[in-house]
Structures are given as structure tokens and as C-alpha cells.
Amino acid sequence: MGGYKIGRVASGEEHKFVINEAQNDPRIHDRAWVRELGLVSFAGYQLRPPGKEALGVLALFAKHPIGAEEDAALEGLASMVALVVKQALAEELLHRSEAKFRTLFDSTADAVVLLGENGFFDCNHATLAMFGCATQQEFCTKHLADLSPPQQPDGRDSRTLVQERIAAALATGSQRFEWVHRRMDTGVPFPSEVLFSALQMEGQPMLQAVVRDITERKEAELDHALIIETALDGFYMSDREGRILEVNDAYCRMSGYSRAELLSLRLADLEAAETSADFKRHTEKIVAEGQSQFETAHRRKDGSIFQLASSVQFSLARGGVFIAFMQDITVRL
């Protein structure tokens, strides 16, 4: 622009600048170029939407003087251009955001479903694979209850219960729960973990449902439970405070307590070989080292003492737990 430094206008030093002697004004660096083209005036206006920073500058040279009326018109034009540019930038940001969301939406291995007032209106590719549905259009004709057996494992009606979950998510913002779903192609049920999240889209409330198939996890839990329950060794799991969280039948037989009774006790109630101070120090040592093997003694429900060879590990799972396997060595001693 003839070498005129419009940065002063763009930076906010001046919201506009108009000169009608461009051929002689020292702020026009290439005045020879201006004279060669017969230019007379120069004007520059900030492109600044109301309450926002400048987005740029509308600048021009003219071969005639710029009067007050034309100046006002150009200033109004600059305001209109600023609003158009602002809208274009906002639409570009929205487009990028939507593209990013769609990429994440379609690439996740979990089923992701969007649910509005009239039912499903979008889902990702993982949803179709998980539920055995051919197309998104077909899936969106279904109700949440259509993707479930008539009753959940607790015997409650699936349709009624899912409506309660939806209402709770809309009221509190989110709901996480386990659920039994059913494939649409085979009718085979499968366990899942569901997260409902309440969102707003174009001013309307909606839910995003993320569904994770936890079949493998449930099978692993079942295998774990079977191993524990059929083990000849006694087993317990306790928290950092010594509260018993899990126990198997073998330890119930060793101690003479029922499972319900043991789950109401602490390890200190059973310990017969260590003082409270010793037990606390030993527990801290297991936390520090991660595991320990030792011999100890527990007190049965009838008050008699039995000797144990114990192998204890500390895990950070569930806030920190002790996992112990024990052999009754009373007879051997």
C-alpha cells in the first residue's frame, strides 16, 4: 500500500486514518509510486467487532479526496466487514471442533450414542459393531430398552429402570452403572458399563451414552471367584484399616465364623500372635515392601488358637488392600 505502515491502525494506536495529500505526506514512504499512479488519498479502518480485538485493517488509496460522507460510509463498511470476518472465524473454529469431535467419536472402541427428546439421533461405528446393527438409520429407530432383555439381573423391568437412569442423569449431570444389553442380530445378552452424561446442543438437553462391553472383565471376575472359593487355603482381603472385605469358605471353616460374621470383623479381632503395636508395624512393613511371608496365629470363634503360614501382598487397588492366602499348620506344629 505505497509503503504506508498500517500497523498503527491494526495495533489500536488509531482506529482509523484518512489523509487527502498522499503524494506529499511523509508517512507515505513510496510517494513516487503514489504520484505515478495519480493517487490522492489514503484511508485505513480497524476491523474491530464490538467488544473484541482488531481482526485486521481495511485500507485503500483513491484518486480523489475522501470527504466526510465517504469516510463515514467506509467506516460503516469496515464495521460490516469486521462482523463478517468474525462470523467466518467462528464458523471455522466450530467446523474444526466438530471435525475433532467426530474423529474422536468414530475412533473410540466404546459405543457412543447421542440421545435427544425423541430418542437416538447419532451413534459411532463401534455402536453398530457392539449391538450387531447394520446401519445408523436402523439403530436410531430403537429405544434403549430395545437393546436390553426384558428384565435386568435384579428382576426389575429394563424399560422402567432405564427411564429412571435417564432422569437421574439429566438431574445430576451424569450416571454410571452396570447394565445387561442384548445384541440386535443374535439376541445374545452381554454385560456392559454405561456412562450417561447430560449435555446441551443448540439449547436443548440431550444425553451422551458411552457403553463399554465388560464381558471379559466379568469372566475374569468369575474365574477369580471360582479359584478363591475352591481353594484349599484360606483367603481374605482387607483394607488399610484391617476391615475384612472378602473371605472364602476355607477360612470360614478354619476360623469357625460364618462369612457374614467375618465381614463385620477386623484382622485385629482375629490376631492371636502379635500385639496391636506389633501388628501395626508388620502391616506398615508389608505396605512398604509390597509382600510378606510369615507364620502367625488366629483365634477361632470358640476362642481356641490355630497356627497359620501366611502369604500377604499389598495392592493399591480399591484404595489399598491386603490379599492373603493362609495354610492351617496347627497339626504340623
At residue 131, the pLDDT reads 94
CA 35: distance to chain centroid?
64
- Can you tell me whether residue 154 is helix, strand or coil? coil
CATH number given to 218-328: 3.30.450.20
Indicate the CATH number of 7-103 among 3.60.20.30, 3.30.450.40, 3.30.930.10, 2.40.50.100: 3.30.450.40
CA 224: distance to chain centroid?
29
CB 73 within 8 A of CB 20: no
CA distance 68 to 191: 75
7-103 and 108-213 in the same fold: yes
At residue 210, the pLDDT reads 92
Phi, psi of 288 (to 5 degrees): -70, -40
Angle, CA of 248, 253 and 254, to the nearest 5°: 100
At residue 1, the pLDDT reads 46
Superfamily of domain 108-213: PAS domain (3.30.450.20)
Neighbouring residues of 168: CB distance < 8 A, sequence distance ≥ 6: 175
Q: Give residue for cell 439421533.
A: 121
Any idea where the domains of the chain sit in the sequence?
7-103, 108-213, 218-328
Per-residue pLDDT of the chain (333 residues; tens, 9 = 90+): 444 555 555 555 667 878 898 888 887 778 888 888 999 888 888 888 877 777 788 888 889 998 888 888 888 888 888 888 888 777 777 666 666 666 656 668 899 988 888 889 888 989 999 999 989 899 999 888 889 999 988 889 999 999 999 999 999 999 999 999 999 999 899 999 999 999 887 778 889 999 999 988 887 777 777 777 777 899 999 998 999 999 999 999 999 999 999 999 999 999 999 998 999 999 999 988 989 999 999 999 999 999 999 999 988 877 788 999 999 998 755
At residue 102, the pLDDT reads 62
At residue 282, the pLDDT reads 92
